[in-house]
Amino acid sequence: MNILITSLARLLIFPGLVFAVPAAWFFLWVERKAVARMQGRIGPPFMQPFYDFIKLVGKDTPQRTGASGMLMKAWPLIAVSAAAGAVGLLPVLPASGGFQGDLILLLALLEVPSMCIIAAGFSSRSIFGEIGSAREAVLSVSYNVVFLLAIVSIAASQHTFRLDALAQLPASPLRWLGILAILVCLPAKLHLNPFSLPNAEQEIYSGPMTEYAGPELAMWELSHGLEWVAATGLVATLIAPQLTLWWVAALVFVALSFFIVLLLSVVASATARLQIDTTVRFYWQCTIIFAVLAVASALFMRFRA
């Protein structure tokens, strides 16, 4: 019973929905504001993502019929629920409970929104959507190798797939190597420059989102924001030092996530979009070195232990 209440509280309150939805809007605002400041503009007001969301919810809903129409309605909802579930799994508070293998569940849930984006682009049957989906698929095959190898190497060095056990690791060179590899993958995961290929505006309009409108688009915006919270939160929990007071842990988590969002936005506004083949080469040839190094040192540490 106690476990049930704890897990419900994690899923619904902190770091789940009640925290994650405002945090998603906040991070979307931080991203837009940081890009604006880097370009010498003032940028949108603080409540802007909230206004956008409410406005989109109030717009007309497109009439969709048939199986592909139902699928198109379903994809954004699946993406939002998966991203919210991923945020709920993050071990932010000390002794918040977890289970063996929750790291695997978190990685799977983090992957669901990008799967939904691919499927949504193809089921919209728009040429721009299909190009965007194909790019997203190629991109996710590229960065996921590095992303998963980095996380698996951190997990393998500790013989565990429990998130709270990983979050409490002492800082080691291996862990920093892994975190660095994860950070390199985050711009691709969040569709930021220089890897903003799937939703490359000026090129293929909005990619997979081209045919979406109104409340469905609002759900996509929300799922993108929740992905921000989940992905930066994963790095934040890996970086965060071990704390016993729950409110200090929560504050440190929010502050670290904020700085990661800021870092990613500054990188995004300082770079231009790469071509798809350059991106794939970047991940398969350059970044994979990090991941291979991380896995090799993890195995080495296990054999020594």
Where do the H-state alpha helices sit in the chain?
2-12, 17-38, 48-57, 66-89, 102-124, 127-157, 163-167, 173-189, 214-239, 246-270, 276-281, 288-304
Smallest gap from Cβ 30 to other proteins, in A, equals 14
Tell whether residue 285 is a contact of other proteins (CB under 8 A). no
Integer Cα distance of 136 and 196 in angstroms: 9
Tell whether residue 266 is a contact of other proteins (CB under 8 A). no
Q: Got the DSSP string for 246-303?
A: HHHHHHHHHHHHHHHHHHHHHHHHHS-PPPHHHHHHIIIIIIHHHHHHHHHHHHHHHH
Integer Cα distance of 148 and 141 in angstroms: 11
At a CB cut-off of 8 Å and minimum separation 6, what does 40 contact?
Answer: none
Counting every residue written for the chain, the total comes to 305
Binding mask 5-34 for other proteins (x = CB under 8 A): ---------------------------x--
Tell whether residue 251 is a contact of other proteins (CB under 8 A). no
Q: Which C-beta is closer to other proteins: that of 61 or that of 172?
A: 61
Q: Which of 72, 87, 217, 261 binds other proteins (CB under 8 A)?
A: 217
Tell whether residue 50 is a contact of other proteins (CB under 8 A). yes
Smallest gap from Cβ 38 to other proteins, in A, equals 10
Tell whether residue 205 is a contact of other proteins (CB under 8 A). yes
Q: Which of 133, 206, 232, 265 binds other proteins (CB under 8 A)?
A: 206
What does each C-alpha distance from 169 to 107, 154, 250 come to in angstroms?
19, 9, 18
Integer Cα distance of 164 and 100 in angstroms: 10
Output DSSP code: residue 305. Answer: -
Smallest gap from Cβ 206 to other proteins, in A, equals 5
Q: Which C-beta is closer to other proteins: that of 35 or that of 103?
A: 35
Residue environment code for 114-135, b if the CB has 16+ CB neighbours within 10 A, otherwise e = bbbbbbbbbbbebebbbbbbbb
Q: Which C-beta is closer to other proteins: that of 201 or that of 259?
A: 201
Continuous segment of H or E residues that includes residue 198: none
Using the contact rule CB under 8 A, the part of the chain among 9-17, 108-116, 141-149, 199-207 near other proteins is 199-207
230 three-class SS: helix
Tell whether residue 67 is a contact of other proteins (CB under 8 A). no
Tell whether residue 47 is a contact of other proteins (CB under 8 A). yes
Q: Which of 8, 13, 41, 275 binds other proteins (CB under 8 A)?
A: 41
Smallest gap from Cβ 15 to other proteins, in A, equals 26
Tell whether residue 59 is a contact of other proteins (CB under 8 A). yes
Using the contact rule CB under 8 A, the part of the chain among 95-103, 150-158, 182-190, 204-212 near other proteins is 204-212
Integer Cα distance of 152 and 65 in angstroms: 43
Q: Which C-beta is closer to other proteins: that of 53 or that of 290?
A: 53
Q: Which of 60, 65, 67, 272 binds other proteins (CB under 8 A)?
A: 60
Q: Which residues form the interface with other proteins (CB under 8 A)?
A: 32, 36, 39-45, 47-48, 50-52, 54-55, 58-62, 128, 201-202, 205-206, 209-214, 217
